[in-house]
Every structure is written in structure tokens, then in C-alpha cells.
């Protein structure tokens, strides 16, 4: 029975980690879109390039 409990706890931990990772990825993606919009509004091509490169990495 202890093996089942350990396996269950491991699965719960993995599921929690996956949920957290997805939430962080979603937050960072939304923030990048906002920052990209700001870079465009400021006519800052270097910042725009850096942010879009990061966004491409996250989305790939």
C-alpha cells in the first residue's frame, strides 16, 4: 500500500508542476505581447527584435 501512496503523491506532484509551468508560460507570453506592443509604439526595433525572439522560443 505504501508504494501506491508514493506513486500517487509523485503523480500529484507532477500534475501540480505541469499546471504551474503552463500558468507561467501563459503569463510570460501575455507579458511579451504587451512589451512587444510597447516597443512598437516607442519605435524601438532592437527591443522589438529581442522580445519577438523570446516569444518565438516560448512558442516553439
Residue 53 has what pLDDT?
98
Contact 19, 41 (CB under 8 A): no
Tell me the residue range of the domain where 28 lies.
Answer: 23-60
Residue 1 has what pLDDT?
65
Question: 46 lies in a domain?
Answer: yes
Chunk the chain into consecutive blocks of 10 residues (it has 60) and report each block's average pLDDT, rounded to whole numbers: 87 96 98 98 98 96
Residue 2 has what pLDDT?
86
49: which 3 cell numbers?
A: 527584435
Question: 7 lies in a domain?
Answer: no
Question: 38 lies in a domain?
Answer: yes
Question: 16 lies in a domain?
Answer: no
Residue 39 has what pLDDT?
98
Question: 8 lies in a domain?
Answer: no
Number of domain units in the chain: 1
Q: Match 507570453 to its residue by C-alpha cell.
A: 29
Judged by DSSP in three states, 31 sits in helix
Amino acid at each position: 500500500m505504501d508504494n501506491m501512496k508514493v506513486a500517487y503523491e509523485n503523480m500529484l506532484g507532477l500534475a501540480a508542476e505541469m499546471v504551474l509551468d503552463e500558468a507561467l508560460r501563459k503569463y510570460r507570453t501575455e507579458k511579451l505581447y504587451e512589451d512587444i506592443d510597447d516597443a512598437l509604439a516607442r519605435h524601438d526595433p532592437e527591443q522589438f527584435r529581442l522580445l519577438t525572439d523570446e516569444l518565438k522560443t516560448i512558442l516553439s
